[in-house]
């Protein structure tokens, strides 16, 4: 494995560590509507609200990950094509 790969991996790990080191109150801000609904509801409604939040979060997350995957593959595809070109064939 190349040093470039390890540098990228270390950068990603540093970003994840920084994100996890953020204070929890900064990540725990809720909208007022969700807070009041949860405070006035029973256990069944609270579980339904949690499930609804997960259902609304998962599709955009998967779409974003898929988009990054496609972009990464395309960039590597063009980079490999440029590396394979012989000298003197540059247009």
Encode pLDDT of 26-65 as tens digits.
555 567 776 777 677 778 877 887 888 888 889 999 999 9
| pLDDT value of residue 67 | 94
d(CA 37, CA 31): 10
Token couple for 65: 């990950």
- Quick check: pTM over 0.85? no
CB 50 within 8 A of CB 58: no
Question: What angle (nearest 5°) sits at the alpha carbon of residue 12, between those of residues 11 and 18?
Answer: 90
Which residue ranges make up each domain of the chain? 3-84
d(CA 36, CA 45): 12
| Mean pLDDT over each residue of the chain, to the nearest integer | 77
Q: Which pLDDT band holds residue 89 (cuts at 50, 70, 90)?
A: low
| pLDDT value of residue 65 | 93
Q: How many helices (H) and strands (E) does the chain have?
A: 4, 0
């Amino acid at each position: 494995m190349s040093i470039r790969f390890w540098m990228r991996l270390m950068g990603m790990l540093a970003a994840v560590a920084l994100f996890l080191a953020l204070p929890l109150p900064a990540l725990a801000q809720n909208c007022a509507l969700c807070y009041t609904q949860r405070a006035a509801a029973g256990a069944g409604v609270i579980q339904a609200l949690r499930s609804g939040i997960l259902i609304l979060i998962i599709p955009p997350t998967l779409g974003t990950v898929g988009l990054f995957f496609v972009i990464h593959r395309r960039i590597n595809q063009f980079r490999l094509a440029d590396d394979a070109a012989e000298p003197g064939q540059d247009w």
